Structure 1
């Protein structure tokens, strides 16, 4: 392995780790600690030039490159690869006049929000501020404001990439429409994206927060949620959460954001105010830089087992309330619709299902892990699911065929063969079939 380290140190300026070194097992771990990630080496690139040099070396050495800022979507399909960390690709430039941002591959969604907020602008953030904006966009991306603006990838206007030959270039809809289309939601199997150009959107006023009740009120909360989502304008997004954290009593919550004034939001959410007094209510006017506080997801790596499904309606969701959700920690229903249903130049295309179901638990001993996956399977089978899943919500047991239609998969595999015939790039969900 010293030979590999010496060769990599000669090729790149960034930091290099190989098996046997004290920190290797730490730096190779993905965000999801339940995923085992075997790699030949880890490289933290200094910049895009370093990425290009690494790709050229990997190609000549017969190794693959698996790119991760931190590994939120890791699947462990990394044998024979060099793990590329992009945290140092941290350029972030916001132009409030053109409403555009250049975002490096290592920049988190929360940093984009913090930079855009002073200008009354927003990117398209999801529930967690610590995921990389590039990683979210490469998977399509579901955002708090997707009902107004569609997929996160719909707002990407250009990509800076390193191709399989180790060349740096810019990709747009005009320069390479096929590759541009593939990068708008089918992952990192076609190139290393070192930066992207993102259209920002006006967000002069934002109201949001979480309202939380004991689980005995879940049927009434579900009824109110149905009522709200049936007539919600696109500016209003609501998520229903069943929660059961270790050492705590089961609870039910509604998370909400509204791009507008507080009085308008309170009128739209009035069915919640007719429910019994909640345990907590954090709804208020807020900055778009504070969105991560709504769900308060963990900001440090941890193990997890997830399953996502798209729902055709809410007609049978009472099945979620029939029994405790344990051993799951959370069951979430997200309201989609709005701009998600409109045309999209992306592999997913329009997202016509009106709701997303997300089931999450923590693995442990084999019996615990089996109980978590069995509960996920049972709940999903009791609901009106379509079988299709958003790409960024795929779990390690799933493939691109679970996200895209056969025709789309065929087109993506053709683009992969043209742009990376040697299979240098090894994404979490590979296209090669």
Structure 2
């Protein structure tokens, strides 16, 4: 197809076509359990490359699926050009203004490392390798969401390429409609090449993981419920049921506190009343070290996830959670929400009023295991008090935007998609038209 064979004359960045030595690696998503068929892969050198590619795609009837490194991939890419934005990696910190200008390919960990020397922080999640732009486009949950809300709430501007191939600077004042859609509505409306994000003061941070044998799970869960019932917005606490291959089941509590160590230890004191843990990694730390708490993999791998939002964690829910072993799942995580996340938010998702998030993860090592993982995930969802909604960044490949954003917001997003991209040039991981 001529539209593909001429790509190397359109952009300056690397182009990978089927049959090229690097094509298979270039098209591979982060989740290796997802098959991602594409017609070509383009690694944009800069925003000019993105604009040239969009104009070429529109004129030839091709679609573009944009990914920095493939997190959140769903495989809905048949016949598209996969646009990799990892090379758009500029990062500038304006400490005086409390702002960061972040290229679309910049990972969260790099932003944290750059902001930390100024006593500032972004709104990082559990993984340091996920792009800031990708998280913001999905709304974005963070360690500090209870204090500051969605990641998207802190975005003050986007640099984009629209469906006509024009480079634009989008703010709430210059284009309120597109600005609203991009702050949590996904990548269906434009290619984001950079964004401006508000930073927050973080002169002190205390956090880490405490790990016990699974036999102590009832007591740990009780302590977790007591802590989260009275937690100030600066404190975030997650609970993890863990069962790794070749190891005994365990239970962990992960915590961060934006404040001094003495106050943090007092807020977490119910943990000190429990049996001696296997390990206790709590300490004063830098915001650049947040990725060490859960120690999530920093290399691609296969996985199956399912997320739900819990309407509560009462005695019945707690008993249900611990009723049976989690196997074949590797982890069952409960994240405490609330705080600023439940407050006003001019984003497609809106306020996150459910007090907890549930995240279920397993590895589909073979078809039988994949079915068992899905069955176990379904069993948790069927027996725990779930609302039926979930954050965009927690959606799995079998789900759609309708599973995340409210119906009125989805209707509005679809209308914006029809107006801004009538030829469907942009194909996000979770298309709003599905």
Return the TM-score normalized by structure 1. 0.99
1:396 CA displacement? 0.4
The answer to whether 1:261 aligns with 2:260 is yes
Q: SS at the partner of 2:254?
A: strand
Q: SS at the partner of 1:328?
A: coil
In the alignment, the residues of structure 2 paired with residue 151 and residue 235 of structure 1 have an alpha-carbon distance, to the nearest angstrom, of: 14
Name segments (4+ residues, structure 1) moved above 4 Å.
none
Q: SS at the partner of 1:332?
A: strand
Deviation readout 1:234-288 (Å, 9 max, x if unpaired): 0000000000011111000000000011110000000000000000000000000
Q: Is the 8 A contact 1:47 1:88 kept in 2?
A: yes
In the alignment, the residues of structure 2 paired with residue 144 and residue 69 of structure 1 have an alpha-carbon distance, to the nearest angstrom, of: 22
Q: SS at the partner of 1:247?
A: coil
In the alignment, the residues of structure 1 paired with residue 5 and residue 215 of structure 2 have an alpha-carbon distance, to the nearest angstrom, of: 62
2:53 corresponding residue in structure 1: 54
Q: SS at the partner of 1:294?
A: helix
Gaps of 5+ in 1: none
2:196 corresponding residue in structure 1: 197
Q: How does 1:217-228 map to 2 (within 5 A)?
A: 217-228=216-227
1:104 corresponding residue in structure 2: 103
1:36 CA displacement? 0.2
1:372 corresponding residue in structure 2: 373
1:23 corresponding residue in structure 2: 22
Q: SS at the partner of 2:49?
A: helix
2:309 corresponding residue in structure 1: 310
In the alignment, the residues of structure 2 paired with residue 268 and residue 407 of structure 1 have an alpha-carbon distance, to the nearest angstrom, of: 39
In the alignment, the residues of structure 1 paired with residue 328 and residue 87 of structure 2 have an alpha-carbon distance, to the nearest angstrom, of: 38
Q: Is the 8 A contact 2:335 2:357 kept in 1?
A: yes
In the alignment, the residues of structure 2 paired with residue 348 and residue 6 of structure 1 have an alpha-carbon distance, to the nearest angstrom, of: 40
1:415 corresponding residue in structure 2: 416
1:129 corresponding residue in structure 2: 128
Deviation readout 1:114-142 (Å, 9 max, x if unpaired): 00000000000000000000000000000
| RMSD value, Cα | 0.8
1:209 corresponding residue in structure 2: 208
1:80 CA displacement? 1.5
Q: How does 1:26-105 map to 2 (within 5 A)?
A: 26-105=25-104
The answer to whether 1:251 aligns with 2:250 is yes
1:294 CA displacement? 0.2
1:427 corresponding residue in structure 2: 428
1:55 CA displacement? 0.5
1:357 corresponding residue in structure 2: 358
Q: SS at the partner of 1:25?
A: helix
In the alignment, the residues of structure 2 paired with residue 405 and residue 127 of structure 1 have an alpha-carbon distance, to the nearest angstrom, of: 25
1:113 corresponding residue in structure 2: 112
Q: SS at the partner of 2:223?
A: helix
2:272 corresponding residue in structure 1: 273
The answer to whether 1:240 aligns with 2:239 is yes
In the alignment, the residues of structure 2 paired with residue 115 and residue 318 of structure 1 have an alpha-carbon distance, to the nearest angstrom, of: 43
Q: Is the 8 A contact 2:3 2:60 kept in 1?
A: no
In the alignment, the residues of structure 1 paired with residue 235 and residue 198 of structure 2 have an alpha-carbon distance, to the nearest angstrom, of: 21
Deviation readout 1:385-420 (Å, 9 max, x if unpaired): 000010000000001110012111110000001100
2:388 corresponding residue in structure 1: 387
Q: SS at the partner of 2:96?
A: coil
1:298 corresponding residue in structure 2: 297
1:4 CA displacement? 4.7
In the alignment, the residues of structure 1 paired with residue 416 and residue 4 of structure 2 have an alpha-carbon distance, to the nearest angstrom, of: 32
Q: SS at the partner of 1:210?
A: strand
